[in-house]
Structure 1
Amino acid sequence: MDKEIELLHQFVDLCKRNPGLLHEPKYAFYKEYLESLGATIPPLPKKEEKPKEPEVHEDETMDEPEPPVELDMSGVIEGEKDEPLPMGDSGKEVSDEDLEKANEERNQAMEAFNEGNMEKALEHYTKAIELNPGSAILHAKRANVLLKLNKPNGAIRDCDKAIELNADSAQGYKFRGRAKRLLGNFLEAHKDLVMACKLDYDDVANEWLKEVEPNLPCCLTALIVFYSRQHSNIRSLDVNKSRIVDLMVDDCE
Structure 2
Amino acid sequence: MQDLQGKAALVTGASTGIGAAVAEALGAHGVRVAVHYNQSREAAEAVAGRILAAGGRAVALRADVRDTAAIQACVAEATQALGAIDILINNAGSLVQRAPIAEFTDALFDEVLHVNALSALAFCRAVVPLMRQAGRGGSIINVTSVAARNGGGPGAYLYAGSKGFISTATRGLAKELVPDRIRVNAVAPGVIATPFQDRFSTAQMLENFRASIPMGRLGTAEECVGAFLYLASEQLSGYVTGQILEVNGGQYMP
More strand by share: 2
TM-score, length-normalised on structure 1? Answer: 0.24
TM-score, length-normalised on structure 2? Answer: 0.24
More helix by share: 1
**Larger-Rg structure:** 1
